[in-house]
Structure 1
Amino acid sequence: MWVAGVDGCRAGWIAVFMRADDPRTHRIVTAPTIAGIVDAPEGPAIVAVDMPIGLPDRTSGSGRPPEQLIRPLLGQRQSSVFAIPSRQAVEAGDYGEACTIAAATSDPPRKVSRQGFAIFPKIREIDALLRARPDLVPRIHEVHPELAFWSLNGCKALDRPKKVKGTPFEAGMALRRDLLMRSGLLPDELIHAPPPRGAARDDLLDALAGLTVALDLARGGGQPFPDPPGRDAHGLPVAIWTLRR
């Protein structure tokens, strides 16, 4: 069985494919679309992707239930969990329009962060794919790298950021690589591999974090927040998955 950990990147998407029964058999790729990942020759049975899946009609509090549940677990890293607004706001193509709609469909009214707005095209892409091809829904799971690293760190928040002012922070990157190595789930050469063209080192690191969750799911593990997952108006799951501990 093949599995994949996926993150967004400059080239579109970066994926790390791995045979769940043979960690030495793996491949790192980029693709312009998420469909190119799920339809790759490997045909991954489980895809763990760092991108929101399942959008609310309205939000109450600071984002969707999964975001509200995992944020307190991450300590100083909780700012990496963006508050995803309503479907109407995500579908807006203009930042000002997105903020207006988000405020009108949230309680208390909340606008959209610039960082959150930047990933809206990718959220729309994966949302459209899953609505058009519901057979993919059981294969594709939403993850968040910092929650995966929380699990790998004994369910404790990490004390070093991965980036500082948008630039990779080497001490934080090294901490996360060390957690991946200590997990024993991935071969060392994969953890230290260079990213392919069109992807950054932190993109690959996040895809590797997702891969650990995909492997755990393939082996009968996995823990969703919330448990059980919710569903949006289109039947898409609303949950962020991590390794079961």
Structure 2
Amino acid sequence: MSGTRVVGIDGCPAGWIAVSISPEGPIEPEIRIVSRFADLIEAAENTVLAVDMPIGLPDFIGPEGRGPERLVRKRLGERQSSVFSVPCRSAVMTEDYREACAVAAAASDPPRMVSKQCFHIFPKMREIDALMTPALEARIYEVHPELAFWRLNGEAAMSLPKKVKSRPNPAGLDQRRELLVRHGYEARHLANPPRGAAADDLLDAAANALIARRLYRGEGESFPAEPARDSKGLRIAIWA
């Protein structure tokens, strides 16, 4: 497909799943897996990229945490556990879990360890951090799928979880799929994730693409409204 595109992106076992749609009009998505986030940046037609991955890493974490997570959790009710606490940049750059916990605890007040779930996405966080510059912020935005579904669901959190005890929850996946269909996707678009991605990865990326549309139109909301910046000058905000 050619022409201007906006893209919703989620991490997946094979790398990144990207759902690319036009900024306006009917939805006919292009769904693909890429191994490098840089490939998505380099595609000139990708005008806005909305990615479920922390961007902007503080050097120190205070009582309020990184910032955006606390604000987002308030809106997600029973889904708030899906929002991981992000540690300082030096912890994210650490490849050993125990060392990462020690570094994170030393750079936070009160001292905080690193959750295993967050540690597992450190490689992707490092990949984006190595690429990001303040100039790229005009195109690349941090989002969170459950906040995206909250926005699409009339600012109400989804009532069912996507996973139960780390296993897919069919009822929760169906609930999100039905919501996306109400927003313009067809069921066939969301039926079969490509090899290397799970069903929830596809749904999350599809929801993020709709937030990318909002961002393209200048309708995106930043949490917080006035983002702080890290030592690289990157804003620290989640958008919806």
TM-score (norm 1): 0.92
Deviation at 1:62, TM superposition (A): 5.6
Does residue 148 of structure 1 match 2:151?
no
Match of 2:29 in 1: 26
CA–CA distance in structure 2, aligned partners of residues 108 and 37 of structure 1: 38
**Alignment: residue pair count:** 237
Question: What percentage of residue pairs aligned between the two structures are identical?
Answer: 55
Match of 1:110 in 2: 112
Comparing 43-52 and 19-28, the one that deviates more: 19-28
Report Cα offsets for 1:22-62 as digits up to 9, x if no partner.
4344310101110012223x631000000000000111136
Report Cα offsets for 1:83-138 as digits up to 9, x if no partner.
0000011111110110001101111101001111000010010000014xx53221
Match runs of 1:10-159 below 5 Å = 10-40=13-43, 43-61=45-63, 63-131=65-133, 134-159=134-159
CA–CA distance in structure 2, aligned partners of residues 229 and 187 of structure 1: 35
CA–CA distance in structure 1, aligned partners of residues 42 and 137 of structure 2: 14
Match of 2:192 in 1: 194
2:24–2:213: 8 Å Cα contact kept in structure 1? no
State the secondary structure of the residue aligned to 1:53: coil
Comparing 53-62 and 201-210, the one that deviates more: 53-62
Relative to structure 1, the CA distance from residue 136 to residue 193 in structure 2 (aligned partners, 3 Å threshold; closer, same or farther) is: farther
CA–CA distance in structure 2, aligned partners of residues 54 and 219 of structure 1: 23
Report Cα offsets for 1:119-161 as digits up to 9, x if no partner.
0010010000014xx5322100000000011111211122210
State the secondary structure of the residue aligned to 2:20: strand
TM-score (norm 2): 0.94
CA–CA distance in structure 2, aligned partners of residues 202 and 157 of structure 1: 16
List, as ranges, runs of 4+ consecutive aligned residues in structure 1 with deviation greater than 4 Å.
none
Structure 2 residue runs of 5 or longer lacking an equivalent are none
CA–CA distance in structure 1, aligned partners of residues 187 and 159 of structure 2: 23
Relative to structure 1, the CA distance from residue 137 to residue 220 in structure 2 (aligned partners, 3 Å threshold; closer, same or farther) is: closer
Structure 1 residue runs of 5 or longer lacking an equivalent are none
For 1:108, the aligned partner's letter is: P
Does residue 224 of structure 1 match 2:222?
yes
For 2:48, the aligned partner's letter is: I
For 1:47, the aligned partner's letter is: L
1:23–1:187: 8 Å Cα contact kept in structure 2? no
2:58–2:66: 8 Å Cα contact kept in structure 1? yes
State the secondary structure of the residue aligned to 1:208: helix
What is the alpha-carbon root mean square deviation over aligned residues? 1.4
